[in-house]
Structure 1
Amino acid sequence: MKAIKGILFIILTMSSSALLWYFATPIEPIHAVNRLSHIIGGLAITGFFLVFLLATRMKILERWFHGLERLYFHHKWLAIFSLGLVILHGQLQDMVPDWDEAQETPLSEFAKELGELGQYGFIALILIALFAKFLKYEHWRIVHRLFLIPYALGIYHAYFSSRYDLFQPTSLGIFTALTATIGFMSALYMLTMYQDMYFNYKGKITGINKLGSNVIQLELTLDKKIPYRHGQFIFIKIFQDGLEKAPHPFSISGSDGKKVFITIKGLGDFTKKVFHSVQLNTPVALDGPYGHLNFEKGTQQQVWIAGGIGITPFLSYLQSHPADRNIELFYTYHGQDNAIYQEFLQEYAKTNQYFSVNFIDTAQMDRLSFENFSVPAKTSIFMCGPEKMVKRFAKQLKSFNTGADIEYEAFKIR
């Protein structure tokens, strides 16, 4: 499992939280249901600490999860799991006997009310976030920024309504203080400093090439070289009136360090506006690179699978290297207008004996499938394309090729 380090990090952090709450001593004796409720509530706060930490996209975390796509997968389900813990915590609190509740103070009652408010906030925001495909990207980002509010309310609730003294330098007190501080600072960092600290590769658009009815290639000239490896992608901000200032991810289709090429297909509001209105000499800022497609580390026998605009990371390699290993490319798209770089790939296959390409136009042919598709032993499989496509192909290939080495990048980042 390629994300094993990241998964272990989550398990160890959550387990530590559960054990510290379980073995901690309350200020005074409390009912068993209240004790369990505290453990569940502590786990929820720890879970949201991890959610905010993963959102920072720290390079070490990306490596532990073997790519941002996997990191965001665990980020999403950890948020849902933590919300479930919050709801369970609230249900258990309602079951606490009256004699236990009688020991509460006005301050703890107020903190309890804020905790309930935070719970409703988490429920509302997570439900909205789950319908991300119906939101504009900028609106989706605003929703995620608002998570700081219920998180802050939850921390206040934990400190001032808990029957454990979290202000003391006990193991539980130190752990809670560290995770709450890091979680809160991670959220503030994403709100305030991320845009300036991480987008430190500045440049401008020096070339525009329209490759079809909805595909455009941009040449970006940077002030300094970006440490790029073929198969990676970047987040880019385009500073032009009428375009969102929010960063968007795109695969690099070619680069020599200071000059970077990205190929964009007009699918959503932002990409359509870029296709129709982007101008030369527009300033840009880049964050990255990210991604774990590494063709050089693959075996001598490789199978490449690209869906639509997912051809770009493969082009980056081909345009810079004569293929020195056996590569078979399956390129699937819908309609000839979406078959970008087809002539280049055809010519490359003619002049390089190690490279072959299969074009699958789903407007004229059956959809590509890898059911009962056998690959030779020690074959590296690389895929890039829409999330549903690459996951379907991965499942098909693994079912017939036990132990197959499969790497992929999926388009879905949120």
Structure 2
Amino acid sequence: MKSIRGIIFIILIMGTSSLLWFFAIPVEPLHSLDKLSHMIGGLAITGFFVVFLLSTRMKMLDRWFNGLENVYRYHKYMAIISLALVILHGQLQERVPEMDKGFETSLSEFSKELGELGQYGFIALILIALLAKFLKYEHWRVIHRFMLIPYTFGIYHAYFSSKYDLLQPTPLGIFTAITTTIGFMSALYMLTMYQDMFFKYTGKITGIQQMGKNAIELEITLDKKIPYRYGQFVFIKFFQDGLEKAPHPFSISGGDGEKIFVTIKVLGDFTHQVYHSIKINTAVALNGPYGQLNFEKDAQSQIWIAGGIGITPFLSYLQAQPINCPIQLFYTYQGEDNAIYKNFLQGYASTNPHFKVNFIDTTQTERLSFESYHVPANTKVYLCGPEKMVKHFTKQLKSHNNDITIDFEAFKFR
């Protein structure tokens, strides 16, 4: 999926920050290293504004970046870039000649100390966040909450250590005030308000169906209809004793909006808890829908590639209406117990001549490969599954089919 609008947004924000700092007039003459250090420090603050804004799960950002998986990818990149800018800012400040640093008040000395604390805080928290795969989801979320503290220190440092008067209504002062306010409010919103304000679809579990050894399908009846497009997903909170209260993303595998189905496969601690202990009538709250897969756009024929639980976005489309364009599905899984909905897919293929399905059990046959696969003209490719699988197949398909369009949902939210 392309993220052109999102990338342009980031470039415009960071470019504007660079220009404003470059042309701003300091309150006193500055050494060239000091000026460069201020500019880089300003870029770091702007970068963290982007980081916190991207964490809000705004649907506008979902559209701009063509999916939350892309939003989170750029969120991660911007965090790393901003941290590098913070470190570079500190290194340059140490190299500014003492005679060119000017007189420092007790307030500026204090803000400088806070800036250093903020730098160490960002380094520690971002390094820990990059080790997300070794952390439980709830622990990872707690670490992200603490990011507001070094960001606050950084804002204070920017305002009271700077040789530019950021409190004046200059272009730089206005830009800094807007971005730091939005950045701070975005972080505060995710910390205190997100789970109360944006889970407006409530309901309860009205059905539980076993889908093999490691998966269940939940029927959820909502108090009001949720408008969703086939292939989208929602964040769900389960209000049941013993289950983690944090929201988790699940693809919608069917339903009419008033009643929806989600399929949950055991992939970690939380899904293991849900699989073994979820009960009928458990209250739920939903936020969404999210996702930019669109099976009805600009294609005369389609190729679907699903890995494991990645079959669920395709099911919502198949179960809603009969397809009327050629679709070939490649469904790869590890063992028959993980081949959820196999009977449904076989039955659908037997009754609809437009639909063909290929089952690839990696315990019985070689892994699926598109190394030399030729995609027919006017064919769109849809991928859904683990991030590594999506990247691998995308690379293979692109290597022999330069002009094809590939849309995907990759299962990774850290």
> Under a length normalisation based on structure 1, what TM-score does the superposition of the two structures give?
0.99
CA distance in 1, matches of 2:102, 2:319: 73
Q: What one-letter code is carried by the residue in structure 1 that aligns with 2:357?
A: V
Counterpart residue number, 1:152: 152
Counterpart residue number, 2:409: 409
Counterpart residue number, 2:165: 165
CA distance in 2, matches of 1:403, 1:148: 43
Counterpart residue number, 1:125: 125
Cα-to-partner distance string for 1:83-142 (whole Å, 9 max, x where unaligned): 000000000000011112342111111100100000000000000000001111111111
CA distance in 2, matches of 1:158, 1:255: 51
Q: What one-letter code is carried by the residue in structure 2 that aligns with 1:57?
A: R
Counterpart residue number, 1:59: 59
Q: What one-letter code is carried by the residue in structure 1 that aligns with 2:352?
A: N
Q: What one-letter code is carried by the residue in structure 2 that aligns with 1:240?
A: Q
Counterpart residue number, 1:313: 313
Aligned to 1:281, the other structure's residue is in SS state coil
Counterpart residue number, 1:199: 199
Q: What one-letter code is carried by the residue in structure 2 that aligns with 1:356?
A: K
Q: What one-letter code is carried by the residue in structure 2 that aligns with 1:217?
A: E
CA distance in 1, matches of 2:298, 2:192: 39
1:15 and 2:40 are equivalent in the alignment: no
Cα-to-partner distance string for 1:201-249 (whole Å, 9 max, x where unaligned): 0000000001111100000000000011100000000000110000000
Counterpart residue number, 1:395: 395
Counterpart residue number, 1:327: 327
Cα-to-partner distance string for 1:355-413 (whole Å, 9 max, x where unaligned): 00000000011010001100111101111000000111011111111110100000011
CA distance in 1, matches of 2:17, 2:73: 22
- The Cα of 1:57 is off from its aligned counterpart by 1.1
In the TM superposition, what are the counterparts of 1:204-223 in structure 2 within 5 Å?
204-223=204-223
Counterpart residue number, 1:41: 41
Q: For the structure 1 residues 298 and 313, does the alpha-carbon distance in structure 2 shift closer, same or farther, using more than 3 Å as the test? A: farther
CA distance in 2, matches of 1:101, 1:350: 78
Aligned to 2:398, the other structure's residue is in SS state helix
Q: What one-letter code is carried by the residue in structure 2 that aligns with 1:401?
A: N
1:246 and 2:246 are equivalent in the alignment: yes
CA distance in 2, matches of 1:102, 1:215: 65
Q: What one-letter code is carried by the residue in structure 1 that aligns with 2:243?
A: L
Aligned to 1:226, the other structure's residue is in SS state coil
Counterpart residue number, 1:31: 31
In the TM superposition, what are the counterparts of 1:283-294 in structure 2 within 5 Å?
283-294=283-294
Aligned to 1:410, the other structure's residue is in SS state strand
Counterpart residue number, 2:377: 377
Q: What one-letter code is carried by the residue in structure 1 that aligns with 2:241?
A: D
Q: What one-letter code is carried by the residue in structure 2 that aligns with 1:145?
A: R
Counterpart residue number, 1:176: 176
Aligned to 2:286, the other structure's residue is in SS state strand
CA distance in 1, matches of 2:303, 2:381: 5
Q: What one-letter code is carried by the residue in structure 2 that aligns with 1:69?
A: E
CA distance in 2, matches of 1:2, 1:305: 18
In the TM superposition, what are the counterparts of 1:72-151 in structure 2 within 5 Å?
72-151=72-151
In the TM superposition, what are the counterparts of 1:268-307 in structure 2 within 5 Å?
268-307=268-307
- Give 5+ residue unaligned stretches, structure 2: none
CA distance in 1, matches of 2:224, 2:202: 8
Aligned to 2:285, the other structure's residue is in SS state strand
- The Cα of 1:296 is off from its aligned counterpart by 1.1
Aligned to 2:28, the other structure's residue is in SS state coil
- Give 5+ residue unaligned stretches, structure 1: none
Q: What one-letter code is carried by the residue in structure 2 that aligns with 1:296?
A: E
Aligned to 2:250, the other structure's residue is in SS state strand
CA distance in 2, matches of 1:364, 1:309: 19
Q: What one-letter code is carried by the residue in structure 2 that aligns with 1:283?
A: A
Identity %: 71
Aligned to 1:295, the other structure's residue is in SS state coil
CA distance in 2, matches of 1:298, 1:73: 26
Q: What one-letter code is carried by the residue in structure 1 that aligns with 2:210?
A: K
Cα-to-partner distance string for 1:168-206 (whole Å, 9 max, x where unaligned): 110111000000100000111111111111100000000
Which structure 1 residue ranges, 4+ long, deviate > 6 Å from structure 2? none
- The Cα of 1:298 is off from its aligned counterpart by 4.3
- The Cα of 1:277 is off from its aligned counterpart by 0.3
CA distance in 2, matches of 1:51, 1:193: 18
- The Cα of 1:300 is off from its aligned counterpart by 2.1
